[in-house]
Structure 1
Amino acid sequence: MLPFPTLNELLATAKVVSLPMRVKFRGITERETLLFRGPVGWGEFCPFPEYGDAEASRWLAAAVEAAWQGFPPQLRENIPVNATVPAVPAARVPEVLERFGRVGAVKVKVAERGQELADDVARVTAVRDALPEAAIRVDANAGWDVTQAVEALGRLSAVGLEYAEQPVQHIEGLAEVRRQLARQGTPVLIAADESVRKEDDPLKVARAGAADLIVVKVAPLGGVRRALDIVAQAGLPAVVSSALDTSVGIRAGLALAAALPELPFACGLGTVRLFASDITGDPLVPDDGAIRLREAVADEGLLERYAAPAERRDWWLDRLRRVHAILDT
């Protein structure tokens, strides 16, 4: 592995952009990210603003891997992906799905703050009505407690769910939801996301028997190679997903999906469709339910067009300096 780049090497090509979203997602309408270019390609550093520097250091490690080291050998060239439906009103579901074209799987956001279970049921039902044969998975982002999760998944399972992603916050809660669903005969698998990427030990969830599968994201786990190691040690099926990245970050997710020995589920890597624009002229978006593996090269014109305001650029560069200091030691 190449030596870790100096701060000046990162700053020399650093670009901060703010990309408009087509719909509100994760509570935001603009996605800010910092990109830089290394010897083998582009890297993306985009931990959400509320994340602390220690957690953000894993995101920087992943970006450096992409730009300075490159990715492991690939086992496949076409990566199946799901469509993603944010917590929009049910009437907007067809509009959102239309952007993804033909897909075989859809992830639907549920448990949005300020909404009711009835909103979730209507949204998921609208997806099923639009795509009768699709695999539907729901993502609660730990928005329920155990009682709410068991009730909600009992109702949502009526339309047929492939799995439920992070229905509750803690590993113990995931295990309890899994037990109660099995006890009442509700056929919904449990996937762990935050309980993998936000834990000091990402293997806890597997040892606790708290999930049927795990969701892995390259940036929060510190890079493609570390994510591959975590999947191997966990011994559970894995779904590769994104962290609302541009095509540069999606390229790293595709590298992980391409390197996994098995890929039993469609990946959550189609989220560039949620942006009004990307930073490359050849965005990594689904075509007929899959993304073809290829490089993502940032376009200087697009980087300039979507350049973040000066104060936000300074905020990100200061953050880069702090996080680099953590990794450099």
Structure 2
Amino acid sequence: MFSIPPLEQVLAAAHVVSLPMKVKFRGVSVREVMVLDGPAGWGEFGPFLEYDDEESARWLASALEAGWLGHPDPVRNRVPVNATVPAVSAEQVPSVLAAFDAVHTVKIKVAEAGQTLAQDAARVGAVRHLLPEAKIRIDANGGWTVEQAVSALRMLGVFGLEYAEQPVASIEKMAAVRKAMGGSVLIAADESVRKAADPLAVARAGAADLLVVKAAPLGGVRRALEIVAEAGLPAVVSSALDSSVGIGAGLALAAALPELPYACGLGTVSLMAADVASPSLVAVDGGMDVRDVVADPELLARFAAPAERRDWWLERLRRCHALL
């Protein structure tokens, strides 16, 4: 653990940006984040707007770790990365995939509110048609009931699924789905790790075959490494719709894991129409080389959030800092 820097120092290091998206993702068409220019590097504070202060404080801890302590030493210099397809229509799939370079693995959003399983199947089928050799994984963000999840996974399983991420909301329901599937589709836990009071409970319950870990929601790279080690399950590192600065923390986490059997979900900058770094941290030939990310002053100025939004984020920073 490192000493939390004084609030005044953090406020002085803060830049708030508003980054337009190429395609709506998680209902977001413009992504607001705060990046911090710390003495050890750049950190990102970007909890989604609906998150409360207690949850958001962990994101701040991650940003301060990156900016004031720096990332741990890597054990690999390159990390495989998957493409991400939001809950778009099947007709939009080709244009979404065109934003990614040399796609070997694809994560597809399913169970979107207001959409049907038939739409999910069409989207997954469109990806499989375009990429017959790619690994495909789906992410329901806890949107199904147990019965819906089992039915959906049996249907979508015909496309060949690497795993299904968070098909249902609770750990108990995850365990029920995993038991019902009998190993025919692997189950990955995301929200059951990053949003849980006890991130290890899902592993103890035998409710998942692997973990999806994100540096920011877990309080930083080092805390995420501890959770993976204690859980004793394979891990996939994912992002939270971050700018290249935030992706840099995820890349550092993936680079420091002792084992990395799966491609990581760190390619979401390709879904953005703007960024804070040049060049952006995006996958090349299906992977990312490990490197530090530095925000570009010109981009920070060009995409600076309006004054009222900057004030909103600074007040949020003050509240969350007080919780650390």
The answer to whether TM tops 0.5 is yes
Q: Which amino acid aligns with 1:250?
A: I
CA drift of 1:72 comes to 1.0
CA drift of 1:282 comes to 1.3
Q: Which amino acid aligns with 1:235?
A: G
Residues 96-148 of structure 1, C-alpha deviations (whole Å, 9 max, x = no match): 11111212100000001111000000000000001001110000000101010
Q: CA RMSD in A?
A: 0.8
Q: Which residue of 2 aligns with 1:103?
A: 103
Answering whether residue 57 of structure 2 is matched by residue 57 of structure 1, we say yes
Equivalent residues of 2:2, 2:65 under 8 A apart: no
Q: Which residue of 1 aligns with 2:255?
A: 258
Answering whether residue 9 of structure 2 is matched by residue 3 of structure 1, we say no
Q: Where does the alignment leave 5 or more consecutive residues of structure 2 unmatched? A: none
Partner SS state of residue 157, structure 2? helix
Q: Which residue of 2 aligns with 1:173?
A: 173
Q: Which residue of 2 aligns with 1:212?
A: 209
In 2, distance between residues paired with 1:17 and 1:315?
12
Q: Which residue of 2 aligns with 1:31?
A: 31
Q: Which amino acid aligns with 2:167?
A: P
Residues 41-67 of structure 1, C-alpha deviations (whole Å, 9 max, x = no match): 111000011111111111001000100
Q: Which amino acid aligns with 1:231?
A: V
Deviates more, 1:309-318 or 1:213-222: 309-318
CA drift of 1:239 comes to 0.2
Q: Which amino acid aligns with 2:5?
A: P
Aligned pairs (5 A) from 1:170-249: 170-182=170-182, 187-249=184-246
Partner SS state of residue 48, structure 2? coil
Aligned pairs (5 A) from 1:73-92: 73-92=73-92
In 2, distance between residues paired with 1:5 and 1:282?
29
In 2, distance between residues paired with 1:47 and 1:318?
14
In 2, distance between residues paired with 1:11 and 1:214?
34
Residues 52-91 of structure 1, C-alpha deviations (whole Å, 9 max, x = no match): 1111111001000100001111111111000000000001
Q: Which residue of 2 aligns with 1:157?
A: 157
Answering whether residue 56 of structure 2 is matched by residue 45 of structure 1, we say no
Partner SS state of residue 261, structure 1? coil
CA drift of 1:3 comes to 2.6
CA drift of 1:2 comes to 4.7
Answering whether residue 138 of structure 2 is matched by residue 138 of structure 1, we say yes
Normalised to the residue count of structure 1, the TM-score between the two structures is 0.97
Residues 149-206 of structure 1, C-alpha deviations (whole Å, 9 max, x = no match): 0001100000100000000000000000011111xxx711000000000001000000
Q: Which amino acid aligns with 1:162?
A: E
Partner SS state of residue 168, structure 1? coil
Partner SS state of residue 216, structure 2? helix
In 2, distance between residues paired with 1:102 and 1:129?
16
Partner SS state of residue 30, structure 1? strand
Q: Where does the alignment leave 5 or more consecutive residues of structure 1 unmatched? A: none
In 2, distance between residues paired with 1:3 and 1:57?
15
Partner SS state of residue 217, structure 2? helix
In 1, distance between residues paired with 2:253 and 2:16?
25
Q: In the alignment, which of 309, 313, 316 is matched to residue 313 of structure 2? A: 316
Q: Which residue of 2 aligns with 1:70?
A: 70
Q: Which residue of 2 aligns with 1:273?
A: 270
In 2, distance between residues paired with 1:2 and 1:200?
22
In 2, distance between residues paired with 1:254 and 1:229?
16
Equivalent residues of 2:79, 2:264 under 8 A apart: yes
* Number of residue-to-residue matches in the alignment: 324
In 2, distance between residues paired with 1:19 and 1:258?
26
In 2, distance between residues paired with 1:79 and 1:50?
31
Normalised to the residue count of structure 2, the TM-score between the two structures is 0.99
Pair 1:220–1:2, CA change in 2 (3 A)? closer
